[in-house]
Structure 1
Amino acid sequence: MPLPFLTADRAFDTTDPVALPFDDHDEWRRPYRPGSWRVGAAALALLLASFVLLAAMIIAAAGTFGGAVATLGVAALVIVGALRMLRMGAWVSRAGVRRVSFFSTRTVPWAKVTSLRTVQQPVRWLGLPRTVQGQALVLDRPAGERLLLLSDHDADFLSRVEAFDRAADTVEAWNAEYGTAPAATR
């Protein structure tokens, strides 16, 4: 059985440092593995959903079908939330770069990227309102709009500085390959 979430690990085992790590550049891919904080939160949400599904089964066995359907709906919302949490992050393809957040998705074509660089700035810690000083991969658009793609204190890179550097370098390599503007150096 193929395990597609392991392809990110194998993608960085290449001996050619210039090559982009994926064979099919038209498919949207995350250039890094999801972090342990993100996977752990999703696993806890799925564990909660299993208990809610068990409660729905017990409620249905007791004969209260309206309550069972409502409880089943709550479990479905928790499962959808956990799956959406796992999809969050930066995705790249030949078409551009995509920033997936919990409630929205923004896609920027490579032709609209004026610069892509790693900067030192205050970043949100695990997506919470608290900010700390850290690194962020920032994408600039022609109208002066900035889009924060990755930070070293989000759920994917907290305590994984090397993984953040590798992911930022990979996104910059995609920009250098398909973007019209040259990628900025650090």
Structure 2
Amino acid sequence: MPLPFLTADRAFDASAEDIALPFDDHDKWRRPYRPGPWRVAAAASMLLLASFILLAGMVIAFAGELSGAAVCLGLALVVIACALRLLRLGAWVSRRGVRRVGFFTTTTVPWNQVTAVRTVQQPVKWLGFPRTVQGQALIVVRQGGGTIAPLLTDSNADFLARGEAFDRAADTVEAWGDEYRRR
């Protein structure tokens, strides 16, 4: 089963040309960076936990307790759904705008409502926990001065200890913004 949200866009392959928007189909929502190792490790751990829950449910079902097996199946499905949602978190771009996908909410801002996409120094959450550290964040400034939560930070699960990857991703999102805000 192909999982397109796990594959890296060809903008970051070694053989790709050095252009910001190398895709033929700009209408498709794309994440302009690879998911980070912390995010992938957390999702893999959740899927491992789900496999143990499913195994426990199978043992319970063979023991004849079908209601307990159904509870295990439901719990495993919830854990699998959370792992898949965790992999979808992040910034997504297309010709239509920029999208910030959170665990529970998704915010989409059309490019015609964006006045600036820029990297700023500010306190950012460390791996999404309440603890903040000084770092860089990619923010979107909407018309009227409003902002949404940072699209990317250098201390989130995708870019922790990967400064170059953060810079590449921020530059790519800024390039998408520069290209489509003009239209």
TM range (shorter): over 0.9
Q: Which amino acid aligns with 1:115?
A: A
Aligned equivalent of 1:30: 31
Q: Does 1:45 align with 2:46?
A: yes
Q: Which amino acid aligns with 1:173?
A: A
Cα distance, 1:46 vs structure 2: 0.2
Q: Distance in 2 between matches of 1:64 and 1:136?
A: 51
Aligned equivalent of 1:113: 114
Q: Which amino acid aligns with 1:105?
A: T
Aligned equivalent of 1:122: 123
> Alignment partner of 2:151: what SS?
strand
Q: 1:117-146 CA distances to partner (integer Å, 9 max, x unpaired)? A: 100000000000000000000101113221
Aligned equivalent of 2:167: 165
Between 144-153 and 97-106, report the one with greater CA deviation: 144-153
Normalised TM-score (structure 1): 0.91
Q: Distance in 2 between matches of 1:87 and 1:15?
A: 26
Cα distance, 1:29 vs structure 2: 0.4
Please, which runs of 5 or more residues in structure 1 have no aligned partner?
A: 182-186
Aligned equivalent of 1:11: 11
Cα distance, 1:23 vs structure 2: 2.0
Q: Distance in 1 between matches of 2:127 and 2:93?
A: 22
> Alignment partner of 1:107: what SS?
strand
Q: Percent identity?
A: 67
Q: 1:61-92 CA distances to partner (integer Å, 9 max, x unpaired)? A: 11111111111000000000000000000000
Q: 1:24-69 CA distances to partner (integer Å, 9 max, x unpaired)? A: 1000000000000000000000000000000010111111111111
Cα distance, 1:180 vs structure 2: 3.5
Aligned equivalent of 2:151: 149
Cα distance, 1:11 vs structure 2: 2.2
> Alignment partner of 2:7: what SS?
helix
Q: Does 1:89 align with 2:77?
A: no
Q: Distance in 1 between matches of 2:174 and 2:18?
A: 16
Cα distance, 1:2 vs structure 2: 6.5
Q: Distance in 2 between matches of 1:156 and 1:22?
A: 22
Cα distance, 1:3 vs structure 2: 6.8
Cα distance, 1:15 vs structure 2: 2.7
Aligned length: 179
> Alignment partner of 1:176: what SS?
helix
Q: Structure 1 residues 78, 162: closer, same or farther in 2, change over 3 A?
A: same
Aligned equivalent of 1:184: none
Q: Distance in 2 between matches of 1:155 and 1:64?
A: 40
Q: Which amino acid aligns with 1:162?
A: E
Cα distance, 1:179 vs structure 2: 1.0
Q: Which amino acid aligns with 2:90?
A: G
Q: Which amino acid aligns with 1:22?
A: F
